[in-house]
Amino acid sequence: MAAAAAACTAVAFAATIPDDATQRTMPGPDITLAAAALTVTHEGEYVDVRVRDPLADPKRYRAELAQLGLDVKLRLVPASPSIVGTVVAMSQSEGTTGRDISTITAKGECETGGGGDRCPVGIRVRTDFTGKAEITFGRAARPGEQYNSSAP
């Protein structure tokens, strides 16, 4: 009975780990934990990147992107609740085009200053991108912290 319960627990645990997560194997029994600060999805010649853990150390974002061969720096700044989880600023090295790096949009996940409902929730980067980029996402402000980015 205990063996059956352990097997069910292992199956349930494994089912919660997304296929695209960066994973870390722990010593001991064969247990793999998702340790990704980012969600990365491969789409043909592009990778789509979304922030999974907005409280992670920014060095983790940089390391995960470097594992993909990308020189992309992610920052998170305190933002008003209507734009938490969205791209609030983006800069790229000279010569970079919209084909190299662009935002991924989703309908209704924020309120934009212009009243639109298509929100930049991540980035799409060509797998052979050799330039540099800095992307800033909005995160929830801590108590008493001023917003660096805001919208209605």
pTM higher than 0.85, yes or no?
Answer: no
pLDDT digits (tens, 9 = 90+) for 41-90: 998 999 999 988 888 888 888 888 899 899 999 999 999 888 888 899 99
CB 10 within 8 A of CB 2: no
Each as own residue / partner, the long-range contacts of residues 13-17 (CB below 8 Å, 24 or more positions apart, any chain) are none
Which one-letter DSSP state was computed for residue 110? S
Model confidence pLDDT, tens digit, residues 108-145: 777 666 767 788 999 999 999 999 999 999 999 999 99
- Spatial separation of the C-alpha atoms in residues 136 and 29, rounded to whole Å: 39
- The answer to whether the beta carbons of residues 79 and 138 sit under 8 Å apart is yes
Q: Nearest 5 degrees, angle CA 111-CA 117-CA 118?
A: 110
